[in-house]
Amino acid sequence: MHTLLDVLASGVHDAKNQLFVAESLITAAETQYGVELGEARYAIEAAATRLSRTLAAYTLLREDAQPAITPVIVADLCAEVGLDQKKHLAAAGIELSQSCSVVDEWPLDRDLVTDMLNNAIQNAGRHARSRVHLDARLDAGWLVFSVEDDGPGFATLPPACGTGLTVAHRLAFLHRRQGREGSLQLSNGASLGGARFELRLP
C-alpha cells in the first residue's frame, strides 16, 4: 500500500508541520518582543514551498497526473500572491505592482497556480532593476496571468528548460476545458522592458 509517493508525501507532511511550529514560535516572539521578523518567516515559508514544489513536480510528471480544479476568485488569488511576495521584494528594493481586471470565478488549481506565480515573481525579482508587475485579465475566453519585470530579459529564447519550467509547462497543459488546454509563454520586450511570463488558462 505504501508507494514511493506515499513515503515522500508523508515525509513532506511531517517536515511542513515542523516548519509550521517554527513559524508560530517566531510569530509569538514578534508579539512578545515587538520585533518584525518577516524575513525569517519568509525563509521558513520558502523552505516549505520548496518541499511542496518537489512533491508537486514528482506528482505532476507522472502519467496519471490530475490537477485539483476548483472555482477560484482570481482577484483573491492575485491578492494572496501579492501578500506572499510584496514585502520580501520591497526588502530588496523592488516594487511589486498588481492589476487584476477579472471579477469572476475561474476553474483552476489554486495551490499550484499560486505557486507558479510566486515562482515567476521570485525569478523576475532576481533580475529586475526596480519593478515587477503581476497582471490578470480575460482575453477572448482565456484567463491570462502575466508577470513582467524591468530587468535585462531572458538571455536566450526559449530559455534553458530546467525542472521548474518543465513542471510549469506541464501544469499549464493539464488545465483542460471545453477542448482547449492551457499554455505557458516566455518572451522579452514586455511593457516594463524586461522578461515576460504569461500563463494562459482555458
Partner 1 sequence: MSEYAKKRFLVIDDQPQARDALRTIAQTIGAFAVEFATNYQDAIYRIRNNVPDIILCDYVLGEGRSGQQLLEELRRFNLLADESIFMMVTGEQSYEQVVSAVELVPDDYIIKPFSPDKLVLRLDRIMAKKEFFKEYYQEKRKKEYAAALAILEAQRNSEAGRPYRFEILRQRAEVLLNSGDSEGAEQAYRGILENYEFPWARAGVARSLHRQNKLSEARSEIDRVVASTPHFFDAADLKANICMAQGEHAEAQQILDDVAKKTPRNYQRKRLLAEAATLNGDTETACAIMADVVANDTMPGAVTPEDRLALARSQVDANDLISAEKTLVGLKESEMQNLDLDAQASYAALLAISSPGRGKPRFAGLRPAMMSAQLATNSRLDILRSALALGDHELADHQAKALLEGEEAKRSFGAMRKQYALHGREQDFRNIQKRVALKRIHHDEAPKPSA
Cβ nearer to partner 1, comparing 80 with 169: 80
Q: What's the N-to-C CA distance of the chain in angstroms?
A: 36
Q: C-alpha cell of 68?
A: 485539483
**Least distance in angstroms from the C-beta of 160 to partner 1:** 27
**Least distance in angstroms from the C-beta of 33 to partner 1:** 13
Cβ nearer to partner 1, comparing 49 with 123: 49
Q: Look at the alpha carbons of 40, 45, 49, 51 in this order and tell me if their dihedral is positive or negative.
A: positive
The Cα 71–Cα 36 span in angstroms is 35
Which residues contact partner 1 (rule: CB under 8 A)?
9, 12-14, 16-17, 19-25, 27-28, 31, 41, 44-45, 48, 52, 55-56, 59, 66, 68-71, 73, 75-76, 79-80, 83-84, 103-105, 107, 109-111, 177
**For 29-37, which contacts have Cβ atoms below 8 Å and span 24 or more sequence positions?**
none
**Least distance in angstroms from the C-beta of 87 to partner 1:** 9
Cβ nearer to partner 1, comparing 115 with 148: 115
Contact 113, 150 (CB under 8 A): no
